[in-house]
Amino acid sequence: MVQSFLAGSGNEEWRMAEHAVVIAGGGPTGMMLAAELTLAGTDVVIVERRASFKLESSRSRGLHSRTIEVLDQRGVVDRFLAEGKAMQVQAFGGVPMDISDFPTRHNYGMALLQSHFERIMSGWIDELAVPILREREVTGFTQDDSGIDVVLSDGTSLPAKYLVGCDGGRSVVRKAAGIDFAGWDPTTCWIHAEVEMEEMPEFGLRGGGGIGPAEEGRVGVTLIEPKVNRTDEPTLEDLRAALIRVDGTDHGVHSPRFISRFNDMTRQAVAYRSGRVLVAGDAAHVHAPMGGQGLNIGVQDAVNLGWKLAQVVSGTSPVSLLDTYQAERQPIGARVLRNTMAQRALGATDDRSIALRDTVVELLRMDEPRKHIAAMIAGLDIAYDLGEGHPLLGRRMPDLDLTTADGTVRVFALLHGAKPVLLNLGDAGGLDIALWADRVQLVDASYAGTWELPVLGEVSAPTAVLVRPDGHVAWVGDGTDAGLREALTTWFGNGVL
């Protein structure tokens, strides 16, 4: 069946050169997906409405531990660490949580504005020679069994095999695909700005948000507004009114760098794929910014999807592999929606909510609750359901220092090329993957240290581990190769003689 959605542009359409994958949206999720596909050898193009990577507002303010690990897996984390500030950024409902005792090389978060994150990412994908069509938007598509024609706002069309909507919460791609965006309407609206002030205010939390320092001597302001469903553009007068409600003065606010609004609308795509169309990042899930999780799970969506889509495009794997993207990532998105709603409830200022918050503070001072919630916020406890087996199965592979014939090698260094790896930690030559040698690395290694996972603690040492390109464990050996061929076929296609 042919599915079509064509937004009238008044221009005669003409077809541009074909790409295997078109990505709508060049924000963090879109750029990360483009990098993943390019590393896997897939031809990709980004369509982005902005003229450059520059952002008017700061948006996200940092990275969590698992996202830092993901960047380390690709060998680019030092670029971000050089400009960000490593620190404990994890919080639940405003209650800070320390993860410095977690078993990870990156037992911290990173303070880094999204504007800087996107600039650094843009430099990386430039090096990877990812083409970007700027000052254009995807306005529709027509798809059938042979491919998809993606219609752009300038009247041109891009033939491709797949289209991925990374075009935000108001995603045109998601709407065009007829994917419902189910969830909850907003209950709260915030005004957000970076400004200059004649009188420096006291920095701290208040007004359902807070006031604090921003770049170049400016002041950042985030405060609740009395009306929820505001559709007009926020003005300096609106910001003055918000400041007066909270502080009794507007502090002589002037010269805004930006003023914007956001709310706590909480919604998720009921499906992450419709035929040749997929969604990721904010196009798949939106929520209040509590805990700073949005950018992070979008980047992690991209890392989960990229290698799978590349294998389907190349014919290495059947299209059913794409079903595992939704099966694995939709529950993660749903969990973030739930925890941000819980955090919003904790932020209420009535007496009962304050009493609840005090109880939660007491709980998070205890080790086990802290570890459980902090690992969830940091993304370090993710366990995809790959069936029964060793505790490592479906979880992130720890970045161990392995001993090999070539010296000490970090696990993450083996993932820099976004290629799967089978770690043989038993007798050399004990595992035969000749049929998959063109796509899976086989590394004989040893590790004498303790195997420890966040929240779970110490686990038994495996004799072999099959690690997917996204860093998650697809198979664990217990002294035999039982189940290895099935795992290789499931995740990396049929073997080739």
- 301: CATH: 3.50.50.60
Confidence of residue 55 (pLDDT cuts 50, 70, 90): low
Does one domain contain both 254 and 299? no
Question: 130 and 54 share a domain?
Answer: yes
User: How many CA atoms lie within 13 Å of 418's alpha carbon, on the beta-carbon side?
Assistant: 25
Distance of CA 70 to the CA centre of its chain: 10
Examine the domain organization and report whether 159 and 259 are in the same domain.
Answer: no
288 and 150 in one domain? yes
Would 95 be classed as within a structural domain?
no
**What's the rounded Cα separation, in Å, for the pair 170 and 138?**
12
pLDDT of 3 above 80: no
Angstrom CA distances, 355 to 188, 285, 346, 363, stand at 21, 30, 9, 13
What is the reported pLDDT for 458?
96
Give the per-residue pLDDT at 12: 38
Identify whether 357 is part of a domain. Answer: no
Where does a domain end: 326, 342, 358?
342
**111 compared with 73, residue with greater pLDDT:** 73
Indicate if 252 and 309 belong to the same structural domain. no
CATH for 196: 3.30.70.2450
CB 259 within 8 A of CB 236: yes
What pLDDT was estimated at residue 326?
98
pLDDT exceeds cutoff 50 at 8: no
Mean pLDDT of 87-103: 89
Answer yes or no: do 431 and 445 share one domain.
Answer: yes
Q: CB neighbours of 43 closer than 8 A, spacing ≥ 6? A: 19, 20, 21
Residue 313 lies in a domain: yes
Do 297 and 233 reside in the same domain of the chain? no
Q: Is 441 exposed, middle or buried (0-12, 13-18, 19+ CB in 10 A)?
A: middle
Question: In the predicted model, what is the mean pLDDT of residues 377-392?
Answer: 96
Does residue 72 belong to any structural domain of this protein?
no
* pLDDT, tens only, 313-343: 999 999 999 999 999 999 999 999 999 999 8
Q: Find the largest Cα–Cα distance for the chain.
A: 76
Question: Are residues 169 and 204 both part of a single domain?
Answer: no
Of the three residues 263, 286, 312, the one that is the final residue of a domain is 263
**Average pLDDT estimate for 73-99:** 92
What's the CA gap between 165 and 272, in Å, rounded? 10
User: Do residues 39 and 128 both lie within one domain?
Assistant: yes
Q: What pLDDT does residue 198 have?
A: 93
pLDDT at residue 225 is higher than 70: yes
**Least-confidence region, from 126-135, 141-150, 189-198, 200-209:** 200-209
Structure tokens at 374: 């902090």
Domain count across the chain: 3
pLDDT mean across residues, the chain: 92
Domain that holds residue 482: 401-492
